[in-house]
Amino acid sequence: MTRNAALQRVQTYFDKGMFQSELGDLVAFETESQEPASAPKLRDYLDLAMLPRLTGMGFTCRIIDNPDPRGGPLLLGTRHEGDDLTTVLTYGHGDVIRAQHDQWREGLQPFVLTVEGDRLYGRGTADNKGQHLINIAALEAVLAENGCLGFNIKIVIEMSEEVGSGGLAQVFRDHKKELAADVLIASDGPRLQPDVPTLFMGSRGGATFDLVVNLRDGAHHSGNWGGLLADPAMILSHALASVTDKRGQILVPEWRIDSLTDDVRAALKDLPIDGGDGPQIDRDWGEEALTPAERAFGWNSFAILAMKSGVPEAPVNAISGHARATCQLRYVVGTDPDAILPALRAHLDRAGFPDVMIEAHDRSIFAATRLDPTHPWVGFVAASVRATVGRDPHILPNLAGSLPNDCFADILGLPTIWVPHSYRGCSQHAPDEHALKPLCREALQIMAGIFWDIGHQDSAPVP
């Protein structure tokens, strides 16, 4: 009954192919939460894959309907070992983004696990089936080696994360006592670098909306009407250009925040921001006075996700009657989410674009969260990771992307520690999604080490 034995056990689990086999079983569930026809498969994932495994580990589980009729079911589970023990909450989501069947390269299928070298291809391998499988398997290794965990563990598996986690906040408010814990330790998102473990303690928020110019019904011949009819695409282009300057620096005053403190700057100093299999970053893009890490993790960024006017696939000689752009603001703590769109409205009016309408997307606002990187739980988990892999992890105050972390931090009041098991080049939300075998193998040991240390060290912080 030693820490090294637990790590060896979970390493053997990987080396003998059990992780790969079990991940293939999970990938085979076609849990596309964006597709209404997949609703029964969302329930199957919980009933057939999660419930038997967790019950076998000593969890008392129940599956509840989502209070949001558009959302999938949720599993709540508890393994209680003692009233005086630390309680850890963990989390995963079993739903995946749309499969995009016709866009995967030859030889790959979204719902069939395919192994090529060090890569495990399949929808959900990185986001998030592989990640919560790693954490569950690590818990099993500690239980098998020690006979108990030495702490209480609670788990939430939701099936609506890829459509905005609808209903999750209400479930947490309704079951706040049942979900009470000392800390959240969970996994989602990517490492900063594939070969260095990462901890992050929150996430940037996200607001998605459309800017729309709708001037008239139908299109009109550009020869007969050019110079006489206002062009909605031109008006929209100029309106979009007023939101940032030519290098993407935000010009909406209320979107320029003051929460990039010295402590946050210190945490971000010297963190690598490029490398791996992702694209090379453009160092002359974004806020000029900030480092690339500060732009990604400590500042707000505006993006145009899609634009349309006319029929791009088959253009004709006509002035369109309307134009639309789907936009997004990724924002950090210090930005008032309720003021994002009103501030944009005021900015567009000042700039002379009253005809540009703003249409918010349904369930489009994710809150921003951040935990002080000097929090005792951060130090404890970082020390555990260091003991397992022999090197310091990268520590981020918050992820650049968005997660429903506000449900844990704001509703349940928990310190939140995320230990991601993917990397930025994993093609998450795209064709050819994959996980890296060496990263998964190391992640299993890291999580087994963290869970062992919580149950065996008196130094585990208890608020």
- Chain segment 141-188, per-residue pLDDT in tens: 999 999 999 999 999 999 999 998 999 999 999 999 999 999 999 999
pLDDT value at residue 313 = 92
Tell me 318's DSSP state.
E
Same domain, 400 and 325: no
CB 57 within 8 A of CB 140: yes
CATH number of the domain that 130 lies in?
A: 3.40.630.10
Strands 87-93 and 74-79: unpaired
Q: Is 153 a domain residue?
A: yes
Pinpoint the alpha helices (H) of 356-436.
Answer: 376-389, 405-406
pLDDT value at residue 270 = 84
* C-alpha angle 111-117-123 in degrees, rounded to nearest 5: 20
pLDDT value at residue 459 = 55
Q: Is 212 a domain residue?
A: yes
Q: Which domain holds residue 12?
A: 3-203+369-456
**Domain end point (choices 347, 366, 385):** 366
Q: Is 385 a domain residue?
A: yes
pLDDT value at residue 366 = 76
**Domain end point (choices 309, 335, 366):** 366
pLDDT value at residue 240 = 98
For residue 7, the one-letter residue type is L
Domain count, the chain: 2
User: Furthest-apart CA pair in the chain: how many Å?
Assistant: 84
Distance of CA 421 to CAs 106, 195, 206, 223, Å? 26, 11, 22, 57
pLDDT value at residue 161 = 94
Q: Is 433 a domain residue?
A: yes
Query: Residues in the chain with pLDDT < 70?
Result: 275-278, 363-364, 458-463
Same domain, 349 and 296: yes
Exposure string of 366-376, with b = 16+ CB inside 10 Å and e = fewer, is bbbbbbebebe
Q: Is 66 a domain residue?
A: yes
Q: Is 463 a domain residue?
A: no
pLDDT value at residue 26 = 98
Same domain, 302 and 327: yes
